[in-house]
Structure 1
Amino acid sequence: MTRRGQGEPPADATITGWLRSRPERLAWAVSNRPAEAMALGLIDRPIPRVLCDLRHSSLPLDPRSQTAVRMCLALSGVTRQEVETALADRAHLLQTVLGLLEAEQ
């Protein structure tokens, strides 16, 4: 979880504060280490797979992919907070998915 310019993560219980103050590192942690993130109390449930898979997709999404993403978001019951947490390090993707999530409602 070390990243240039952000320093070493603390070794003790202050790791949660360290992660919460670095949204990009938090997004990586909840997407790639969901069990640890849940154990630390950073998330209540694992981030739905659709959001983890979207982190590696190319943009812009074609209409067929947008429809599939909308359906997956609806079926998984993804909240806006979960989207913001999981995609904080992917700004353009975050805006795209929030647009799809709001269009669904």
Structure 2
Amino acid sequence: MTEPHTSQSIISFSTLSGAVMATAGAFTLHEWLAIVGAICAFGGLASNIVRNRNTARENRRSNDLKERELSLKEREVAAKWADINMRKKSNSQGGNKNA
């Protein structure tokens, strides 16, 4: 259950609310707008940094994948050429024996 309001909790609440009101009243509307604008600017900066890092990470992964695929294709082409050259050699050797 909730504990009943004691005089100590009421005093601390009133002290806190008084401090908040004094702080809020100490700034003019223009100062509050400047504070909110600064907070928004830092939020936008943080958002852009995170987005750029994620984009760079995705680009690196994509490039690595493309390099692996290209390397695999190069190996496949090299294997096909090696097979073609071996067939040519075996055909030419076989053709010389029959001649």
TM range (shorter): under 0.3
TM-score, normalised to structure 2, is: 0.22
Q: TM-score, normalised by structure 1?
A: 0.21
Higher helix share: 2
Larger Rg: 2
